[in-house]
């Protein structure tokens, strides 16, 4: 209860997932990132590629009815 009052507890969402507490977001994130585009050579090998899906939707419904849950990397 004390964690919730002080804003230290994560918030449970209606879908059962959790959002980080305000304190965790303040301590673990920055107001502005240091992102800079990085030039790269396109992949030309024979190995399997990695598919990266970027979405602003927390739980995106896929064609088969299952939900894709985004991964947040801090």
Is 66's pLDDT higher than 70? yes
Compute the Cα dihedral for 6, 73, 57, 16 and give only its sign.
negative
Instruction: State the pLDDT confidence band at 68, using cuts at 50, 70 and 90.
Output: confident
Contact indicator for 24, 9 with CB cutoff of 8 Å: no
Q: Which residues contact 7 (CB under 8 A, 6 or more apart)?
A: 21, 22, 23
- 36, pLDDT greater than 80: yes
In tens, the pLDDT along 42-55 reads: 878 888 777 777 76
Q: How many whole angstroms separate alpha carbon 39 and alpha carbon 57?
A: 28
Domain ranges (residues) in the chain: 49-74
Euclidean distance between CA atoms 22 and 67, whole angstroms: 26
The pTM score is 0.40
């Amino acid at each position: 209860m004390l964690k919730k009052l002080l804003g230290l507890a994560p918030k449970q969402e209606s879908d059962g997932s959790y959002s980080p507490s305000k304190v965790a977001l303040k301590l673990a994130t920055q107001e502005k990132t240091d992102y800079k585009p990085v030039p790269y050579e396109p992949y030309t090998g024979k190995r399997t590629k990695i598919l990266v899906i970027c979405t602003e939707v927390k739980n995106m419904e896929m064609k088969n009815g299952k939900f894709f849950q985004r991964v947040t990397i801090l």
